[in-house]
Amino acid sequence: MTVQNTDNTLSVSLGQIQLNNPILTASGTCGYCFELMDFFDLNHLGGFITKSITPEPRLGNPPQRTCETPAGLINAIGLANVGLDKFCEEKIPLLERMTIPVFVNVAGKTVNDYLIVAERISQIPHIAGLEINVSCPNVKEGGISFGTDPKSVYDLVCQIRKRCPDTYLIVKLTPNVTDICVPARAAIDAGANCLSLVNTFVGMAIDIHARRPVLANRTGGLSGPAIKPMAVYLVNKVYQQVARPSNIPLIGLGGISCADDVVEFMLAGASAVSVGTHMMINPACLETILTGLRNYMQQYQMNNIRDLTGALCE
């Protein structure tokens, strides 16, 4: 895959993966690829991360599956997806048209589920890497049940690494733990090339008139601006205690809606960021964010945005 970099000042790297700019899509918010092309050319981004793929098709949780909250969104989609076979047959040909790095988010109920998807997807030349989802809070099996147990994180990533020795592996971490640095270390020790954090915080909304949970799943994952200060803190904590000493890049996410948010995450230690919930409000926001980053760099006479990563003054 040949990627044309049109603005070197915005280019960043995730280890051996080169991105034209630090903006990626957040898994689960932008479908499989071209759902948002009417609003914005996704090839202008640094990279694209697909929604989660499981071995078999999943309908996800029953409705109601989303609920707006002050400065946020609670969702309990439940990893709805077309399944591995249909993804390879129908979606990969679309993804192969992309001129930016594409990462496939991988999920499952069991370790074997992850291995089935990871091994098959890793053999597709156009795919730049895998994002291993050990943090979805909206399924009864898999997802967060792996991410909250450091041993499970280590064992899962180890097995995927053995099956896919040359594949670029991003591990997506949950914030719903006592100390996020513990699973972060486990993922790195097992062979992760990059960490993505944070996924959603478990939340709940109640219909005070019906006196029952708004979501059919009872609980869901809270995203949006409400979680940004917590996400920035956790990115900085993992960067200082785990990622920087191990020379492992971080992808920060959680409530990003403008260029200032991107800069904040990068100063905290992120090499790149993923944007998700805000795209449901304004699908074209990514172009505005890129323009804002260029303006910030001009304001502070910066030669490359990479200089922001970890540049927080203590």
pLDDT tens, residue order, the chain (314 aa): 333 444 669 999 999 999 999 999 999 888 888 777 778 888 999 999 999 999 999 999 999 999 999 999 999 999 999 999 999 999 999 999 999 999 999 999 999 999 999 999 999 999 999 999 997 655 555 556 678 899 999 999 999 999 999 999 999 999 999 999 999 999 999 999 999 999 999 999 999 999 999 999 999 999 999 999 999 999 999 999 999 999 999 999 999 999 999 999 999 999 999 999 998 888 888 889 999 999 999 999 999 999 999 999 87
Parallel/antiparallel/unpaired status of strands 212-213 and 206-207: antiparallel
Residues noted as catalytic = 136
